[in-house]
């Protein structure tokens, strides 16, 4: 099965929600992106040539998701 970038970003968002609802600090997920990036082939291809979102794009999406989720629970 082939997953699209949108599905990967969506799973990041739901993972963040679960982390936050469980009391974990979701900002730590940005550090995970750094670990993935430093691994073999971590930053080798431009995003348009990859089946995955770039680590930079995922870090930005994680930041936006944290802000979005915090806004949702404040209502």
Sign of CA dihedral 33, 38, 44, 50: negative
Print the domain residue range for 71: 12-25+54-75
- Whether 66 maps to a domain, the answer reads yes
Tokens of 20: 């936050």
47 vs 33, higher pLDDT = 33
Highest mean pLDDT among 14-18, 49-53, 70-74: 14-18
Task: Give yes or no for a contact between 62 and 29, defined as CB atoms under 8 angstroms apart.
Answer: yes
Q: What's the token pair of residue 8?
A: 């990967």
Retrieve residue 41's tokens: 């082939």
As a whole number, mean pLDDT of residues 4-8 equals 78
Any domain includes 4: no
Q: Which residue has the tokens 């794009």?
A: 57
- pTM above threshold 0.85: no
DSSP assignment, residue 2?
P
Q: How many domains does the chain have?
A: 1
Count CA atoms closer than 13 A to 53's CA, side-chain side.
18
């Amino acid at each position: 099965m082939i997953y699209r970038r949108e599905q990967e970003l969506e799973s990041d968002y739901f993972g963040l929600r679960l982390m936050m609802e469980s009391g974990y600090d979701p900002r730590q997920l940005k550090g995970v992106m750094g670990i993935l990036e430093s691994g073999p082939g971590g930053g080798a291809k431009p995003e348009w040539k990859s089946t995955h979102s770039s680590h930079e794009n995922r870090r930005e999406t994680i930041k936006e998701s944290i802000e979005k989720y915090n806004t949702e629970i404040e209502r």
